[in-house]
Amino acid sequence: MTTDPVVLGIETSCDETGVGIVRGRTLLVDAVASSVEEHARFGGVVPEVASRAHLDAMVPTVERALRDSGLALADVDAVAVTSGPGLAGALLVGVAAAKALALALDVPIYGVNHLAAHVAVDVLEHGPLPEPTMALLVSGGHSSLLLVPDVTSDVRPLGATVDDAAGEAFDKVARLLGLPFPGGPHIDREARSGSSVAIAFPRGLTTGRDLERHRFDFSFSGLKTAVARWVQAKERSGEPVPVADVAASFQEAVVDVLTRKAVAACREHGVDHLLVGGGVAANSRLRALAQQRCEAAGIELRVPRPGLCTDNGAMVAAMGAELVLKGRAPSALDLPSDSSMPVQLVHS
C-alpha cells in the first residue's frame, strides 16, 4: 500500500449516511445524505426509519462520493466503516456495505469506533494529533472526556454522561420551547439575542461529593428538568416565556460545565492540547468559551470546522487512514457491528 493510502469511509451510526474519501491525511470528498427531515415529525430519531433511509441512500452516496472525487472504485486501497457504537440496525447497513466493497475490491477493511473517529477527523484540518491529546466529544448520544495517547491504539475514558448527553438535552429543551428538531442549531440561534445570566440554571456534578465521585462525568438530566419546571411555572402564571433568555441561560449552563471539566482534565493530566468534537462542537458559544478558557490556561484548542463535527464519512475515512499509516492490522471480513462498543476498543 502507498504511503498516502486512499481510504473510503462509511458512517451509518445514526441518521446520517456518510461516505468520505481521503488520501493519507487529505480529504478528497465528504458526501452526506441526511434523513433528519424524516425524523423531525417524531421529535427524535426513529431507529427503523434511519435503517431504511441508509438502505436507500447507500449506493447513491457512494457513487456521488466517487464521482465528486474523480476516483474509481479500483483506486481505493482500504475501506473503513463505523462498527459501533450506534443504532444496531443502522450500523448493520453500513457494515454490510463496507464488507461487500472490501470483498469485491480485495482490499482490507477496518471496523472503527465512532468516538475515536470523531477525534481522528481533526487530522484532516489541523494535521497529526499531538500525543497525548485530551478530547471532549459532545453529541446527541455522547458526552465524553477522553485522554488520547494514540488514537489508533490507546483511548482512555476519563468521564462520560451519567444520563442525558448534551445534544439530547438540547433537543429536549428545544421541544419545551417550541423549537424544531434537531434542537442544537435553533437553541444556538435563539441564545444570541438572549441573556446567559437571566436565569440561574443548575450545573450538574460540579460541587461537593459529586465532584469527588464524578470528577470528569457529566449530567444534564437535572438541568433539563429545571428548565422544564421554570417554563411550566411561567405558563401557569400566564406570563410569556422569554425563549431567547431561556435558551441562552440553558446553553451557558451546558457549555460552562463542559469546558470547565475539560480544562481541569488537561491540567490534572499535564496535557496542553484540547480537541472538541461531535455535533455539539458546532455550537458557537461552546467554541467561544472553550477558546477563552484554553487561552487562559495555556492550552491549545483544536476544533474541526462544523461540517466535520457532525457525523460524516470523512471522520471514518480519516480514522481508517490513521490505522493504515500506523501499521495496525485490518479487521476480519466477518467483523460484527456493536451498538454498545466501548471507546477503549478503537477498532474491531
Whether 35 has a pLDDT exceeding 80, the answer reads: no
Q: How confident is the model at residue 46 (pLDDT cuts 50, 70, 90)?
A: confident
Q: How confident is the model at residue 41 (pLDDT cuts 50, 70, 90)?
A: confident
| Sign of CA pseudo-dihedral 163, 165, 169, 172 | negative
| Residue 70, helix vs strand vs coil | coil
- 3-state helix vs strand vs coil in the chain, percent to 5: 45, 20, 35
Superfamily for domain range 6-121+312-325: ATPase, nucleotide binding domain (3.30.420.40)
Residue type, 38: E
Domain locations in the chain as residue ranges:
6-121+312-325, 133-304
Render pLDDT for 81-137 as a digit per residue (tens, 0 to 9): 999 999 999 999 999 999 999 999 999 999 999 999 999 999 999 999 999 999 999
Render pLDDT for 276-314 as a digit per residue (tens, 0 to 9): 999 899 999 999 999 999 999 999 999 999 999 999 999
Q: What number of CA atoms fall less than 13 Å from residue 72's CA on the CB side?
A: 2
Instruction: Look at residue 111 in the predicted model and tell me its pLDDT.
Output: 98
Q: What is the pTM of this model?
A: 0.94
Cell for 286?
461552546
Instruction: Look at residue 37 in the predicted model and tell me its pLDDT.
Output: 73
Average of per-residue pLDDT values in the chain: 95
CATH class of this structure's domain 133-304:
alpha beta
Instruction: Look at residue 254 in the predicted model and tell me its pLDDT.
Output: 98
CA angle 160, 162, 165 (to 5 degrees): 70
Render pLDDT for 50-65 as a digit per residue (tens, 0 to 9): 899 999 999 999 999 9
In eight-state DSSP terms, residue 141 is: S
Q: How confident is the model at residue 141 (pLDDT cuts 50, 70, 90)?
A: confident
The answer to whether the 6-121+312-325 and 133-304 domains have the same CATH topology is yes
Whether 250 has a pLDDT exceeding 70, the answer reads: yes
How far CA 25 is from CA of 68, 91, 93, 289, in Å, comes to 18, 25, 26, 29
Alpha helices in the chain (DSSP H): 36-40, 47-69, 88-105, 114-120, 123-126, 166-176, 183-191, 208-213, 221-236, 243-269, 284-297, 306-309, 313-325
Whether 348 has a pLDDT exceeding 70, the answer reads: yes
| Residue 142, helix vs strand vs coil | coil
% of the chain beyond a pLDDT of 90: 90
Q: How confident is the model at residue 67 (pLDDT cuts 50, 70, 90)?
A: very high
Cell for 125?
484540518
C-alpha 291/C-alpha 298 separation (Å) is: 10
Instruction: Look at residue 1 in the predicted model and tell me its pLDDT.
Output: 61
Whether 207 has a pLDDT exceeding 80, the answer reads: yes
Averaged pLDDT, 196-206: 97
| Sign of CA pseudo-dihedral 59, 60, 66, 70 | positive
C-alpha 51/C-alpha 304 separation (Å) is: 27
Non-local (6+) Cβ contacts of 180 within 8 A are 40, 174, 186
Whether 264 has a pLDDT exceeding 70, the answer reads: yes
Residue type, 95: V
Angle between helices 221-236 and 243-269 (to 10 degrees): 160
Element spanning 135, H or E:
strand 133-138
Which phi and psi (to 5°) does residue 177 adopt? -90, 5
C-alpha 103/C-alpha 85 separation (Å) is: 23
Q: How confident is the model at residue 2 (pLDDT cuts 50, 70, 90)?
A: low
Instruction: Compute and round to an integer the Cα radius of gyration of the chain.
Output: 20
Question: What would you measure as the largest C-alpha separation in the chain, in angstroms?
Answer: 69
% of the chain beyond a pLDDT of 70: 99
